[in-house]
A = this chain, B = another copy of it.
Amino acid sequence: METGENLSEMCIVDSKTIDSIVKELEIDDIRSASIRQIGAVVRAVEARTGVEYIHFEMGVPGVPPSAVGVKAECEALQRGVASVYPIIDGIPEIKEQASRFVKAFLDADINPQGCIPTVGSMQAAFASLMLVSQLDKKRDTVLYIDPGFPVQKLQAQVIGVNVASFDIADFRGKALEAKLEEFYAKGNIGAVLYSTPNNPTWMTLTDEELEIIGRLSAKYDVLVIEDLAYMTMDFRCDMSRPFEPPFQPSVSKYTDNYILLISASKIFSYAGQRIALACISDKLFARHYDSLKERYGMARFGAAFAYAFLYSFSSGVSHSAQCAMAAMLKAACDGEYNFVGDIKEYAERTARIKEILLRNGFDVVYDTDGEEPVSDGFFFTIGYKDMPGGELLKELLYYGISGIDLATTGATRNGIRACSSNIKPHHYAMLEERLELFNKNH
C-alpha cells in the first residue's frame, strides 16, 4: 500500500483512480484489454481527472476527410441517390475508376468487373474469409501472417473458420519460404492474410517476400488476401504519382490468386463512411467452384462474392459513398488529388515521436524491413527494456499515455502498438516530460 501511494505521487495520474475505473468497467485485466476497452478506460480517466492523455491507442484518421470525396458525396445526395438501391457489385463509375486506380498505384491489371465496393475493408475481409471457408472442406484454416489486426481474427471466430498464425519478424526475406511451406504442406490452409504496410508494426513486405507469397500461393493453391489499408504510406519512397514507378509493392505482381483490400479509411481519411474495395484478380473472379454451384447455384467465385455474400450481408454499399469513392479514385488517377501528400503528415509526426522515445530509454520493437529501418508512418511499436507489453501499457497509463498491447496482435515481441494520427503540436513536449519521468522511475 505504502509503495503504491508513493508510486502514484510520482506519476501523472493517480494509479488508484485508473485501477478503480478498470474495475468499474468490468475489465478483468487491463493488460489484455481490447482497443475498445482501453479507449473506454482512458476517456473515463480523462473525464474524472481532467488530465489529457496522449492517445496512442487510436488508429483513426487525424486529418480532415478528402475534400474531393465530401464534395462528390454531397452532390450525389442532392441528385437524389439516397432513394435508389446501389448496384450490389458497384456502380459503373466506381468499378471503372477502381480498375484504373490499381493500375495507377499498384501497376496491377484487374478488370472493372472484379473491383467491388464493400462496407469498409472489414466487410471485404469478412466476405473473403467466409467465402474461402466454404470452398473446400479440407481447407478449413486461414493462415494469418502476424502481427496483425485483432478484429480480423475475431472475424474468423464469428465465421467459425480455424486460424493458424506466426510472427513474421523472425522469418523475413528468404526464411519466409520455408516457414510458409511448413504450413501449406499440411493441405488445410485455404487462404493467407496479411497487411502491408503492416498494422500494427508498420513493417512492409519486400518484393522478395511478396514473390515468395505469390509463388507459393500458386504452388499450393492458397488464396492471398492482401490488406492494403495503408498502401503508399511507406513514405521511404514517393508513390504519389499515378501510372509512374515506384508503385506500391503487392502480391498482385506475383500471382493471379488474390483479393486486394483497399480501404478509403486511411488513404482518403474517409473512415466514417465505411467504404473500401475488394479487388479480385481476373482469374480468381472467373474461377468455377463446384461447392459454390451446389450451395448457391453460382459457380463463379466473383459472382458468389457479390450476389451471395455481399448481397446477403448488406445489399451493397451506401450509394452516396460509392459516388464519393469513385470521385476520389478518379481524381487520384487523373493526378488532380495528391492523397499521399495529404497524409504524409503522419510520417513527420511519427519521426518526431520516435526521436523522443529513443532519447528516453524506449525503443522501436519491430524496427526493420530486411536491412532497412521501417518507414515512419501511421503505426509504430514501442518497447521498454524487457517489460511485457501488457505491463508496459498498464504502467504508461499511469503516465497519461495509452496504446494497445502487441500481444493482442499475435506479436511475439514485447511492446505496445502506437499511432501518431491524433498527435497535436502541444503533445510533443508533454510526451517528452512524461517519458522522462517514466524512465526516471523505472
Of A46-54, A172-180, A310-318, the stretch lying at the interface with chain B is A310-318
Q: Is the CB of A81 within 8 A of B155?
A: no
Q: Is the CB of A309 within 8 A of B274?
A: no
Q: Is A99 in contact with chain B by the CB < 8 A criterion?
A: no
Within 8 A of B (CB), among A370-402: none
Q: Is the CB of B154 within 8 A of A311?
A: yes
Of A62-70, A209-217, A254-262, A407-415, the stretch lying at the interface with chain B is A62-70
Known pairs A120-B315, A320-B272; A82 contacts B73 (CB<8 A): yes
Interface code A302-328, partner B: CB below 8 Å = 1, 0 otherwise?
A: 000001110111111111110010000
Of A83-91, A234-242, A354-362, the stretch lying at the interface with chain B is A83-91
Q: Is the CB of B271 within 8 A of A84?
A: yes
Of A6-14, A122-130, A434-442, the stretch lying at the interface with chain B is A122-130
Chain B residues within an 8 Å CB radius of A154: 296, 308, 311-312
The minimal Cβ–Cβ distance linking A258 to chain B, given in whole angstroms, is 22
- The winner among A83, A119, A320 for most chain B CB atoms within 10 A is A83
Q: Is A151 in contact with chain B by the CB < 8 A criterion?
A: yes
Q: Is the CB of B83 within 8 A of A315?
A: no
Q: Is A36 in contact with chain B by the CB < 8 A criterion?
A: yes
Chain B residues within an 8 Å CB radius of A80: 64-65, 70
The minimal Cβ–Cβ distance linking A315 to chain B, given in whole angstroms, is 5
Q: For residue A315, which residue of chain B has the nearest CB?
A: B122
Q: What separation, in Å, do the CA atoms of A382 and B3 have in the docked complex?
A: 81
Known pairs A70-B77, A70-B78, A158-B309; A272 contacts B85 (CB<8 A): yes
Size band of the interface chain A makes with B: 35 or more
Residue of B158, B274, B324 touching A119 (CB-CB under 8 A) = B274
The minimal Cβ–Cβ distance linking A321 to chain B, given in whole angstroms, is 6
Q: Is the CB of B122 within 8 A of A274?
A: no
Residue of B77, B81, B123, B311 touching A314 (CB-CB under 8 A) = B123
Q: Is the CB of A86 within 8 A of B274?
A: yes
Chain B residues within an 8 Å CB radius of A317: 274
Within 8 A of B (CB), among A232-275: 265, 269-274
- The winner among A66, A80, A311, A314 for most chain B CB atoms within 10 A is A314
Q: Is A157 in contact with chain B by the CB < 8 A criterion?
A: yes
The minimal Cβ–Cβ distance linking A183 to chain B, given in whole angstroms, is 24
Chain B residues within an 8 Å CB radius of A324: 82
Within 8 A of B (CB), among A194-249: none
Q: For residue A155, which residue of chain B has the nearest CB?
A: B312
Q: Is A403 in contact with chain B by the CB < 8 A criterion?
A: no
The minimal Cβ–Cβ distance linking A69 to chain B, given in whole angstroms, is 6
Q: Is the CB of B84 within 8 A of A123?
A: no
Q: For residue A316, which residue of chain B has the nearest CB?
A: B274
Q: Is A74 in contact with chain B by the CB < 8 A criterion?
A: yes
Q: Is the CB of B313 within 8 A of A123?
A: yes
Q: Is A23 in contact with chain B by the CB < 8 A criterion?
A: no
- The winner among A69, A270, A274 for most chain B CB atoms within 10 A is A274
Q: What separation, in Å, do the CA atoms of A61 and B82 have in the docked complex?
A: 10
Chain B residues within an 8 Å CB radius of A271: 82-85
Chain B residues within an 8 Å CB radius of A77: 70, 73-74, 77
Q: What separation, in Å, do the CA atoms of A178 and B377 have in the docked complex?
A: 64
Minimum-distance CB pairs A-B, first 3: A272-B319, A65-B82, A65-B83
Taking A120-B314, A273-B318 as known contacts, 18 extra A-B pairs with beta carbons closer than 8 A to each other, sorted by chain A number, are A61-B84, A64-B80, A65-B81, A83-B270, A83-B271, A122-B312, A122-B315, A126-B314, A151-B312, A154-B312, A157-B308, A272-B320, A273-B319, A274-B316, A274-B317, A313-B313, A314-B314, A320-B320
